[in-house]
Amino acid sequence: MKILRFTFSFLFLLFLSYSCSSQKEAPDEKLLDQSPVDKHGQLSIKDGMLVDVSGEMVQLKGMSLFWSQWQPQFFNHQTVENLVGGWDIQLIRAAMAVEHDGYLENPEREMDKVKKVIEAAIDQGIYVIVDWHDHHAEDHLIEAKDFFSKIAKEYGDYPHLIYEPYNEPLDVSWTGVLKPYHEEVIASIRQYDPDNIIVLGTPNWSQRVDLAAEDPVRGENLAYTLHFYAGTHGQELRGITKNAMDKGLPIFVTEFGTTDANGDGLVYAKETRDWMEFMDRHNLSWANWSVADKDESSAAVLPCTTPSEINNEEKISTSGKLVRSYLKYSK
């Protein structure tokens, strides 16, 4: 009997030990539920790459909102929450219009829209690009400096913030126009926010990253904007981008489309896949253009779709379904 009792006791203790060990090795549910900001924390640029608080390379994927003055209905918490829950975005881009009845004419109205998106992103634990959505920002330097200094002063302590001081410059000089513009806006941001990433627009609709690579702006945690549309831009632009990266230039794709550069026409699935493979290979973060119900191919949802319907499969466009597949299943 003693032997039997000993054997039973030994097996029972062994079972308890195994159970405790298994519990310790099981994934922490809290870790599984971590938001992108919980997981990655303060971002920075190291050796030409975007890295998280632990120094590990990070690739963020998300969506860009449309021009704020034309699609204001999506600049709210409900949109951001539904994109996080149904599309698995890690990043939202608040494309604040500057011209064409935008910030220059209605600064309080447009600022309020941006703040709603920033606060929704903070609440949802994702990163947010604050985009000065302008094609002539060098003509609006005073306004840009004032805007970004206000944003940095109010939200610069949050690691969620990413600044984009110039959406898409046209065919203007990098050295003579864009670099001086960026230097002044950077100074306005850095007086309140010394750490968060600033993504700098490049010539020719933010495609000539090679020109910036020849004469980069001095400073910490600076990246450079690349925009592409899969139907218009292909291997030539990827080659330009790769050459810039080989020179150490950090690249961030703050806007891309699955269509032609005019935002309409066909949705180019193969060409989009080629770009996705390129961005994954080089760890480039991206935001897709755009969360809008405009009647054009690049819009992620169909006309008359509301923020509450963003996750409704019947309301998602061809482009939206393609991009959502990369957001949800390519991690």
pLDDT in tens, 113-154: 999 999 999 999 999 999 999 999 999 999 999 999 999 999
- What are 61's strand-pairing partners? 286
Output the average pLDDT for the chain: 92
Dist. CA 199–CA 165, nearest whole Å: 7
- Judged against a pLDDT cut of 50, whether residue 22 lies above it is answered with no
For the cut 90, the answer to whether the pLDDT of residue 287 exceeds it is yes
Q: Extract the tokens encoding 296.
A: 């054009």
pTM of the predicted model over 0.95: no
Residue 110 has pLDDT above 60, yes or no: yes
Phi/psi for 91 (5° steps) reads -150, 135
pLDDT confidence of residue 84: 98
Compute CA distances 147 → 120, 189, 202, whole Å: 19, 9, 20
- The token duo for 329 is 């299943």
- pLDDT surpassing 60 at residue 17: no
pLDDT at 235 over 70: yes
Per-residue pLDDT, averaged over 73-97, amounts to 98
Q: Report domain extents, the chain.
A: 53-329
Residue 329 banded pLDDT, cuts 50, 70, 90: confident
Q: Is the pLDDT of residue 204 over 90?
A: yes
Q: Exposed, middle or buried, 4 (CB in 10 Å: 0-12/13-18/19+)?
A: exposed
Q: DSSP H helical segments within the chain, as ranges? A: 2-25, 29-32, 36-40, 77-87, 107-124, 141-155, 179-190, 203-206, 209-214, 235-246, 269-281, 318-329
Taking 50 as the threshold, does the pLDDT of residue 160 lie above it?
yes
Share of the chain above pLDDT 70, in %: 90
Task: Report pLDDT digits (tens) over 315-327.
Answer: 999 999 999 999 9
pLDDT band at 2 (very low <50, low <70, confident <90, very high): very low
Whether residue 308 is predicted with pLDDT greater than 60 in this model: the reply is: yes
pLDDT of residue 33: 77
pLDDT at 10: 39
Query: 57: which residues sit within 8 A by CB, 6+ positions away?
Result: 49, 50, 51, 283
pLDDT for the residue 19: 36
Q: Report, as residue numbers or ranges, the catalytic residues.
A: 168, 255
What gap in Å lies between CA 294 and CA 69, rounded to an integer? 13
Say whether pLDDT at 11 is over 90.
no
- 164, 130 Cβ separation under 8 angstroms: yes
For the stretch 210-228, pLDDT in tens is: 999 999 999 999 999 999 9
Distance, in Å, from the CA atom of 211 to the CA atom of 179, rounded to the nearest integer, reads 11
Beta-carbon contacts of 232 under 8 Å, excluding residues fewer than 6 positions away, are 260, 261
Cα–Cα distance for residue pair 293/66, rounded to 1 Å: 9
**What is the pLDDT at residue 32?**
55
Backbone CA torsion sign across 315, 36, 247, 170: positive
User: Domain 53-329 has what CATH class?
Assistant: alpha beta
Instruction: State how far the Cα of 216 lies from the Cα of 231, in Å rounded to an integer.
Output: 29
Residue 98 in this model has a pLDDT that exceeds 50:
yes
Give pLDDT, residue 16: 36
* pLDDT given at position 63: 99
Neighbours of 91 (CB within 10 A): 24
Residue pointed to by tokens 């020179």: 247
- CB count in 10 Å sphere of residue 128: 26
- Res. 272: pLDDT tops 60: yes
Q: Is pLDDT above 50 for 9?
A: no
